[in-house]
Each structure stands twice: as C-alpha cells, then as structure tokens.
Chains A and B, each alone.
Chain A
C-alpha cells in the first residue's frame, strides 16, 4: 500500500469520525485524535526510511491518472522533512490538549477542526499539483479561522475576523496567481509547470504572477509588512492552537509553499533572493522590537514568530547551500521551541488565569516543569549554546558572511540580542522574582501537559545534534538538496518512483 495518500486522508477521515462519534464521549475523542496524530508522526518517520531506500522521490498518481491530467502526490526530501516537523508538533499538541481543552466546551469540535487543519497542512506538503495545493491551503485556513475564534469572546472574534479578511486576501492573490500560471503553462502539475517555464522562459505575466504569489504566501507566512494579522490571531486562539499556528501552520502554508514555488517551480533568481533577504531582515528587527514592547505573554510570542520567520527567510534568500541548510534547520528548531513556548504560556494561563506578564512573578518555585522547559525554549530561541537555536543561527550567520553579506550577519546578531532581551523580560517577569501572594496555591499543570512540554524541551536539546554530519545526511541534507538543486524538481514525473 502506498503511504502518500494517507497523510491528508487520515486527517480528513479522523475529522469526520470525531465529529460523528465524539459527541458522546470525551475520552474517545482524546484517544482517537492522539492515535491519529501519533500514526501520522510514525508515517512521516517511515516516509523518511522509504526515501532513504529509494534513489529518487516518490510520486503517487491519485486514481491512476497520469500527472498532467490527474493529481499527483510527491514525496521528496523537503516534503518528508516538513511532514516530520508538522506531525511531531501536532502530536505533542494533541497530547497537551487532552488536559488543556477540558476547560472548553465541545471538545470534539476542537478536535474536528484541528484534524481538518492538520489534513490541510499535510495535503499542502505532499501535493504535486498547484491547484490541489490551493484547496488544501484553504481547508487548513478555514479550519484555523474557526479555531482562532474558538473562545467566542469579543477579542477572539475580532481577531478571527481580521485574520479571516487578511488571509482571504492572501488566498485570492494566490488563486489569481495560479490562474495566470495556468493560462501560461496550460497545466497545473507543478513539475510540468517547471518544465514549461524552463522551456518558454519567464515573461511579464509570470513576473506578475510571482508577485501575487509572494504577496499571498508572505501574508500566510506573516513576513513584514504582511504580518499584521498574526499578533491578533495567534494569541487569541487556545494555547495548543496558538502553538500549532505559530509553530507549524505559517511554515507549512507560508514558508514551505514559498520554497516549493520559487526554488522548484520558478527557479531562484538573484532579484528574488535579494528581495527575500531584505524581507527577512526587516522581519527580524521589526518583529523583535515589537515583541520587546509587549506585556502580553502570547502576543510577545506571536511577534517573536515574525522575528524568527525573518531568520528563515533571510537564510533562504541567501540561496547558498549553507544558507538553505541554516534556514531549514531553523525552521525545524523554531517549530519546536515556539510551540513549546506557546504551550508554556498556556500552562501559565491555565494556572494563574492571566496573560499579562506584569501580574506574574516567581512561578519558578510553584511550576518547576513549566519554568524549566520555558527556560530551555527561551535559551534555544535566543541562540544560547548548546541548545538547538544556537546552531541554526550560527549556520545562517556563517552563510551570510560566506556569501559576502557581512551587514546582514550583524543585523541578524542585532535581532538575536533583541530576542534575548525580550525573552529575558519574559523570564524575569513570569518565572523569577517574587511570587505574588495570590498565587500561593498555584500548582503545576496536569500530566499530559507536562509530558508534551518535556518532550518538546528534549527536542530542543537533542535538536542541536541534527547538524552533526552523521545525523544531518538523514534528515536535513535530503531537504537541503531539493532546494539547492531546485530545478531538478521538473523531472520528478519521469524519474519518480511510482
């Protein structure tokens, strides 16, 4: 049996079953969803093994139709890498939700929406067809609009509305771009489009389409100046969803799609890469500065996501193998520590009932697990060795210097210092200092929440080893190769293992 269709199918099927059967029993929802996310994570690891045993990428033709006519699903190093990230974090999040979502009503609706979103993300990653990509992107987006508004208070609804509008604008641009692309290439299969584009070359219409794509996917990825929806939407959602949105959603829908289109389909060109570097650099500092000014725990983290996405885009914009490696590595790291931090914020909110860091303090004594995992995550994201974020930032900065962009390397360090500053602010106000008297009875969060946080913290520490040559060649290098030899993607229909 072919595993590729399972990635979107498991999520979709699970969502269907949970909505059908979950109303009766909360326990069934918990177990069933966790089994599905766990299975997806297992499958992603398995996909890595399959890929290792093959010489070329895997292509699956849906319904047996030949690619230009039918839809194809593609598994190469990059999609396998993304699948691992997405499904690992999703698994941790569902584990965490078992306890956390107790305080909300209608847990099964949450799980339904979550699984739909997950199916959408997995679909975006495995699909080889650009219109299919759009459909999955919309599935994930629509589910996320609902999830942002899940609390149905005024704040959540406002955030969700803003997010809905901005994100629909993005979807519209993307759809328009696809229309342009289709009119030019007469095919929707991405590999075929790549073939046509390399034969016919780019004309102004294609430039126009690529601008539409950049705007659309930058909106999804929250790159400055297209970021404004994120600081409202991410904090308003329940903590597991915030973790999912910041940790994997913007990467699967924004960064991954940008990579796929501009490295594999259009082919990277210097003007585009310079643009990416500029956008990344602006995001790094604007995000960091805005985060530094925040006193809301989750809003601070949301701005921090903009800041960290900036590093990824900067690395991608360098276009050198080292820069791409750094960007992909940072993408992995960021999804681990940012979801961990959002789960920490959820744990703190769960116990003390507020998100304003000025009202907290001294929680280190009362919540040792939350406090130490959040310290690990903060150190990772600030690039303190020996945690994983240090290594990815090191690679990105080294790549900047080797590519001759010394100014960008100092710019990146400036962003890193600001990151350290706002995480120090967070740590100082939340976990260190004096414990206010009203929190004397605060207790550590329940078991599953702790488990998820601890496992993510372990990933933060172990993640640093991914850059060791012996480990790198299994996970990072295949993904890196897909992007460094970007235009090889067009041959995928011929050479791909069926």
Chain B
C-alpha cells in the first residue's frame, strides 16, 4: 500500500498544515520561557499533539483521520492535566468527555459516510444530502468539528479550559490548533464531502449566529481575563461557521481566513494574558490595573490583537469579517426561499452586533488590565516571552493591510477564485487613518498647553473610576436588564452547558437503575425468570 492512499497534500491541507507548524513554533518559543516544571511531560505531549495534528490535517483516508483526530483528545487531556489539582482535573475530565464523545460521533458519522458513498476518502465524490442517513452522517461529522472548534452547543469546555489550564496550552490548543482543525474539517465537509441542502446550511447559519451572540454576551460579564478570552474563542468560531455555512467560495474563503486570523490574534491575546499572569500573579480583573506603563510591549501587542478581534480596520480581523459578511450578503441574494433569506439576514445582523459587543468587552479587558491605577510595580516580561506575541501582532497588521498580497492567494488556491463583491482598499484606507491620527497629534502638540482633565467616560455605566478603580463590574448593568437577568442567572448555573444537562439527565436514569439493583437475591432471581419468560415469548410466539 502506498502512503498516498492515506494522505492528501492539496492546497487546503497544505495551507492548514503550514499554519499548524507555524503556531507550534510560536508556542514552542513561548513555552521555552514559560514552562518551568514537568518539562519532559509537557514537551512530549506537546510534540505528540503536533504530530497528531499534522496527521489529522493531511489524512485523506477516514480511518487515518479518526486515529489522529481521536488521539488529540488524549493529548489535550494530558496537557490540561499537566499541573493537576482538583479543579483542573475536573475541567480536564469534562473536556475529554465532550471532545472524546464528539470523536465517537465523528467515527460513526464517517463510517456511515463510507457506507453511503462506498469509498473511504474524505476527498472523493461529494455526497448530496437528500436522505435521512446522509443528513445524520453530516450532522455527526459536523458535531465533531463543532466540539473541536468550540461552536455552540459544544463549547462549554473552552472557557473552563482557558481559565484553568496553563497559558501555552490554552494558546496552543483551544485558541489555535484546535480551531484550525475543527474549521478545517468543517471546510472539508462543505467543500469536498457533502453537497449541502438548504436545511443543513440553515442549521450551520443558526448555530453560527447563536455562537457569535451568546458567547460574546457571556464574555462581557467575565472577571477573569483568560475566561473572558475563552468566551471570545467561542464567539469567533461563530463567524467561521457563518462563513463556511454559506457554502460558497467567498464564504469558505472568509471562514478560513477568519480561522487563521483568529488563531493569530487569540494566541497573541492569551500569550499577553500569560505574561500578565507571570508578572502580576493573577488573572482576575479586580487585582489587575495600570500595567500599561510597566509592560508596554505586552500592552501594545494585546491592544493590536484586541483591535483585530473586534474587527477594527485595518487589522486582519476586519478583512476576514468583511469577507464573511460579503459571503452572507451574496448568499442572501442568490437564495430563493424567504425563510432562508430571513435566517441569513438575522445571522448577518447578529454577526454585526457581535462585532460591536466584542469591541466593548475588549475595552473592559484592556482598561482593566493595562489602564487605570497601578496596584504595585511590576516588570515587563522577559524577552523570550515577548518574541511570540510581537510576531503575532505584526502578523495581525500585515494580514490586515496587505491581505491580498500575502495570504489571500493561498486561500484562493485552496477554495478557488474569490469573487469579492464589496469594495475595501486597505492600503489607501490605512494611509488615511494614519493621516487622521497624525493630524490629531499635530493639533494636540500645537495646543499642548491646554490639557483638560475630565472624569473617565463610562458609557452611561454607574461607576466612578476616580474613587474605585475596578473594572470588573463594568457592564453589570447589562446583567441587570430585566430580560437578560434570568438568562444570565441560568447561564451561571450552567443551564446552557450541554455537559451539565446531559449529566443530570443521565444520573436520573442511573438513580432509577440503582433503585432496581437493591442487592436482594430473590429480586435478581425474579429478573432471571422474567428474562426467561421474555425469551419464551419471543421464541414461541
């Protein structure tokens, strides 16, 4: 047997594979400065993750794909459990159950797929979704990619992991490589494996839109920087799913580009949070503040990444979001059914609102960590911990301003020619933006003597920063809104966590079964008798 029958090296897998390598290098450099204990265990699982990720990206035979893909769950579990305490162990368990469970669905989905298409390859002839079995196969495979990437409702492991696992692990797996893999699989499903019908497209769009909105609403009220970033890692997946859910070239390209951009700025953000954690010793917004002047490099990289994730032009997040929006608009124009049109319009609106709320929550993050009154003197992180965030921040700018010159050609190779329907010329726009800023600076310099100090603008919030510089309760007013209050209360009780809900449900059954197993011998003998009667009934009917 030839190795080619198991692996595929087309533009898409090369594109994703290259960036898997890229992020491995970036995080590896960071880990060299960050990981001090249990180095052997960390690096061995780190490289196993790397190899398995590459394997998963380049597999074309479904068995090979499942093997690599499933093994990643174990490596993730081990990496989270690196410095295990009670809380970490619980999170690792939850993560592995969600991810491993979805891998099980992937297995059965792919096997069903091979049964329906009678071949074993993910890049054979696409299967039209025109019967229940094909739809079930599609859904099972999609769930695996959702759980890996963190799309709702399979997202709940990401915020927990982000909060508890060590920073390089979070930046490596949930923030970058798992996203690349999950979205890669989703792109494969849409591009090569299935021909989507309108219902499956609508499902993708609805889930994507819900993910964008709900996760960003949760992010707004977080107090822990890493957990906040974790919710954004969920929210951003929504955009990718929206793009890919269009199933058009433009949407696919937008989704893939957003996947890449997200991996770049989100790892940058997590690494920044890691630097803050290393120096200030905390991730709680209550205990941070005023670090901007002590850690300028970390501050600037985080700021750039925050702009990028919020979709502020001219950074990379804007370009890819713009492509996703165009994809949605294009899809809306081309679809005939009114219901679908409505769904697309709603997704577009929620994506736009989500983008605004992202900016709002990053305002909170940056203000809380880097601005305000300092609570003590800290030092900038060591240079070895700064290389990776700086490289990533530079990429945020480069892929934003020079997207069409640098990265888009590769994406075009992967999905086909991208027919942009909107107009966005990043270079002139950037020049204009810079000119505007320059003009402002000149005016400021000219009138420098007349500086007026006014109270901080808090956007109508009932806070007084001058007296109590604590950003954490910012946006609590949203939490108090009559309609949202109940939803937030439910969310904090983990009502929307699929893991908690299925656990409750399962334990109901278990209690019933335990009630039946009362340990009394005659009962058990009665069961045998009943079983035997059942057999007689079956055989002598």
Residue positions of A touching B, CB distance < 8 A: 161-162, 165-166, 169, 204, 207, 210-211, 214-215, 218-219, 225-226, 228-229, 231-232, 271, 275, 286, 289-290, 292-293, 361-362, 364, 379, 382-386, 390, 393-394, 397-398, 401-402, 406, 409-410, 412-413, 416-418, 420-421, 424-425, 427-428, 432-434
Contacts and interface: CB of A to CB of B under 8 A. Distances in A.
B93 A427 contact: yes
A394 B510 contact: no
Nearest to B539: A207
B93 A228 contact: no
A385 B89 contact: no
B513 A289 contact: yes
A166 B84 contact: no
A359 B74 CA distance: 25
Contacts of B96: 420, 424
Contact of A211 (B63, B84, B527, B539): B539
A226 B532 CA distance: 9
B340 interface: no
A275 B67 contact: no
B317 to A, nearest CB: 35
Interface class of chain A by DSSP: helix
B443 interface: no
The 3 closest A-B pairs by CB, nearest first: A228-B524, A432-B89, A293-B510
Contact of A228 (B70, B85, B517, B538): B517
A394 B528 contact: no
Contacts of B523: 228
Contact of A406 (B103, B133, B513): B133
Contacts of A385: 66-68, 70-71
Given A289-B506, A386-B71, A433-B84, A226 B527 contact: yes
Contacts of B513: 286, 289-290, 293
Contact of B74 (A162, A232, A364, A384): A384
Contact of B93 (A232, A402, A425): A425
Contacts of A286: 513
Interface stretch (B106-114, B324-332, B482-490): B106-114
Q: How large is the interface on B (under 10, 10 to 19, 20 to 34, 35 or more residues)?
A: 35 or more
B100 A402 contact: no
Contact of A231 (B517, B528, B535, B538): B517
A471 to B, nearest CB: 15
Contacts of B111: 394, 397-398, 401, 409
Interface of B: 63, 66-68, 70-71, 73-74, 81, 84-86, 88-90, 92-93, 96-97, 100-101, 103-105, 107-108, 111-112, 115, 133, 136, 506-507, 509-511, 513-514, 517, 519, 521, 523-525, 527-528, 530-532, 535-536, 538-540
30 contacts: A165-B525, A207-B540, A215-B535, A225-B527, A225-B531, A228-B524, A232-B519, A275-B535, A286-B513, A362-B84, A383-B107, A385-B70, A390-B67, A393-B107, A397-B111, A398-B111, A406-B133, A409-B108, A409-B112, A413-B104, A413-B108, A416-B104, A418-B506, A420-B96, A420-B100, A421-B506, A424-B97, A428-B89, A428-B92, A432-B84
A211 B536 contact: yes
Given A232-B519, A275-B535, A428 B90 contact: yes
B528 A413 contact: no
Contacts of A225: 527-528, 530-531
Contacts of A383: 104, 107
Contacts of A290: 510, 513-514, 517
Nearest to A232: B519
A365 B144 CA distance: 33
Nearest to A158: B519
B524 A229 contact: yes
Contact of B104 (A207, A293, A417, A434): A417
Given A394-B63, A397-B111, 8 more contacts: A228-B523, A228-B527, A384-B70, A393-B107, A394-B107, A401-B115, A420-B100, A432-B93
A385 B63 CA distance: 10
Of A215, A292, A361, A428, most buried by chain B (CB within 10 Å of CB) is A428
Contacts of B107: 383, 393-394, 397, 413
A383 B107 CA distance: 10
Which of B67, B74, B81, B532 has the most chain A CB within a 10 Å cutoff? B532
A406 B133 CA distance: 9
A165 B524 CA distance: 10
Contacts, number: 146
Nearest to B112: A401
Contacts of B535: 211, 214-215, 275
Nearest to A379: B74
A146 B97 CA distance: 39
B84 to A, nearest CB: 4
A384 B70 CA distance: 6
Nearest to B100: A420
A354 to B, nearest CB: 18
A434 B86 contact: yes
Nearest to A274: B538
A362 B93 CA distance: 14
A478 to B, nearest CB: 24
B115 A166 contact: no
A289 B517 contact: no
A384 B539 contact: no
B269 to A, nearest CB: 28
B497 to A, nearest CB: 15
Contact of B89 (A289, A409, A421, A433): A433
Nearest to B90: A428
A402 B523 CA distance: 39
Contacts of B511: 293
Contact of B84 (A229, A364, A393, A418): A364
Contacts of A215: 528, 531-532, 535
B121 to A, nearest CB: 16
Q: Interface centre among B71, B104, B107, B524, by most A CB within 10 Å?
A: B104
